[in-house]
Amino acid sequence: MFDHLVRVPLHELTPGFVAASGSRELTKLIKVALSNKDNSVILLKDEYQVMQARYQKKIKTEQDFDLIAGKRVTALELETQGDMEGAIALYEECIFIGECEENHLGIYHFSYEVERLLYLYKKTKQQQKELNLLRECVDKYPTYKYIHKWKDRLDRFVSNEVNPS
């Protein structure tokens, strides 16, 4: 009769879960449950499943960003040691991870890697790769807050190609 409901123990409703659920009603329910000394909350099963999916997505996003951040540190160390090719490979990997659709990361999670890669392509005289990355980023991320930097750089690049000094 009540198959559409689920009793959820309060210990499962961690602050991270509640925040990821995006449900203000859940916060109210938890307060009521605590004031009644109840150890659980009754939720609609469908809503709870949506909350669980949001929470899992949040955890996956955090894990993926942590992975990128770890590779970023290693890439910076490689740059410091003069291993530009190794650093380039790691930055390219970070961008690949960031762009994977299932990772739910946005450009803001890996824009630093794009900037470093553009710099290293220029430094190692890999103009075609630099040009391709600029074009790709301008096309893929038109709403990126700092896209004007990439557009300016692309314009200078193209004008230098047309009118070499």
Give per-residue pLDDT as tens, 8-56: 777 777 777 777 777 666 666 666 666 566 777 777 788 888 888 888 8
Q: What does the DSSP 8-state code read for residue 42?
A: E
CA dihedral 55, 59, 60, 62 (to 10 degrees): 140
Instruction: Supply the DSSP string of 115-159, one letter for each residue.
Output: HHHHHHHHHTT-HHHHHHHHHHHHHH-TT-TTHHHHHHHHHHHHH
Name the residue range of residue 47's domain: 5-125
CB 160 within 8 A of CB 128: no
Percent of the chain, pLDDT > 90? Answer: 45
CB 18 within 8 A of CB 26: yes
pLDDT digits (tens, 9 = 90+) for 88-110: 999 999 999 888 866 667 888 88
Task: Give a yes or no: residue 90 inside a domain.
Answer: yes
Task: Give a yes or no: residue 153 inside a domain.
Answer: no
165 or 116: whose pLDDT is higher?
116
Cβ-proximal residues to 32 (8 Å cutoff; 6+ apart), any chain: none
| Domain total in the chain | 1
Task: Give a yes or no: residue 118 inside a domain.
Answer: yes
Task: Give a yes or no: residue 10 inside a domain.
Answer: yes
Residue type, 118: L
Task: Give a yes or no: residue 39 inside a domain.
Answer: yes
Retrieve residue 31's tokens. 């307060």
CA angle 73, 67, 99 (to 5 degrees): 110
Task: Give a yes or no: residue 82 inside a domain.
Answer: yes
Task: Give a yes or no: residue 148 inside a domain.
Answer: no
Per the prediction, the chain carries an average pLDDT of 84
Cβ-proximal residues to 63 (8 Å cutoff; 6+ apart), any chain: none
* Residue 148 CA: distances (Å) to CA of 65, 119, 137: 25, 16, 11
